Structure 1
Amino acid sequence: MSIENAKKQAGYAAVDQNLDPSDRIIGVGSGSTIVYVVERLGQLNTKNDLICIPTSFQAKQLIVENSLRLGSVDEFTEIDIAFDGADEIDSNLNLIKGGGACLFQEKLVASCAKRFIVVADYRKNTGLLGKDWRNGVPIEVNPLAYKKVIKGLMEIGGKPALREAGASKAGPVVTDNGNFVIDCDFGEVPSNQVQSLDAKLHSLVGVLETGLFVGMAKKAYIGEEDGSLTISKKSSKL
């Protein structure tokens, strides 16, 4: 089974099994797997009743392209359900997100949602943050403070690097909110240490948000390589 088919299976199943008839306000995340979530939403007979809240410019485009109604998080601070992808998922459904530099808006929408559902393919479900995702924890920072934040990250044992835009643009990546992203490698992070690490990162002045999503996801839909589907639920013990 191809990776794309695995993503499609996870995206469709997440919508079919979690979207209640009473749900009207839908959070729409970012990334390649979310393409199939929005595609499925666009196929529903009730699509005209839904208002979709994007987490990024990419999500906004997907919503419009699938002829869904567009809303914003400042209009709707109570979201019935939100769907999003992940860069890595651990055994307690803690996540690393932000590989696409949308972490602040993604976490804002997830925090407004009554139910937050993750969709991903098998490569992301490693059971341990930092195991296969070696790019580090994304951290969105105010541009004025990035050097100070880098110093602080080194002092707590991280290996930080300002994310550069690459060949398409000279200089750093700039988020949809006008901020910089620092990727900080902490190695493998055990599930019982993710929350404390997130707290340390938030204590640094200049940090707007981190790509550690701690205890937010209720379920994860994982499209497996063999064509099967794994559904993981949030553990009661974090």
Structure 2
Amino acid sequence: MAAGDGNLELEAVRISLRGRLLLDIDAAIEAGSVLTIRGPSGSGKSSLFALLAGFLDPSFTASGKAILGGRDLLALAPEKRGVGLMFQDALLFPHMSVGRNLTFAIPAVRRGRGLRKAMAENMLEGLGLAGTFDRSPMTLSGGQAARVSLARTLLSEPRLLLLDEPFSRLDAALRPEIRELVFREVATRRIPALLVTHDAHDIPKYGKVIEIGG
């Protein structure tokens, strides 16, 4: 599995909508660490994620740079950026098995059905989901679906991870487990990560926090 490229540097990243400045941020995210962004609705958090992933609505105006691995992500086509996303919902394809959900995400350069299946099964085993390859996502518990979503994101070999309140829909008993699992994988794989959350409990103990729009 590919490791991260290093730190992410957000340099004078500004997003405006119809002349109104929504967000103005300079920040550095070290490889393997999580930067948390907090702010009220409409403060530009989702717009920042959309900008980094490459699907910001053209009605917005953006400037600045996001340097990762010596390249400005904002100058690359979306499919070349290597950005992985996790949302509130697992968003698994219901018509595909768990295993097919995972192999679908593996980059095309990883050739061979046997190799791709082995990669998916190894990931499932590493996340405590051994034996679920052929199951339907509809049979999974909330915690299992969240782990499969994480597995799919990691198998896409992201260079940057965007976490959009990924724990908010989980049962209170599950949240600490899934939260620590995600942060552990971020650290192990040396991937810089951005987290948006409204819950202070979701912020990594030693992570940095930026408040915007206050």
| TM-score with structure 2 setting the length | 0.31
Structure number with the bigger relative contact order (C-alpha 8 A, sep ≥ 6) is 2
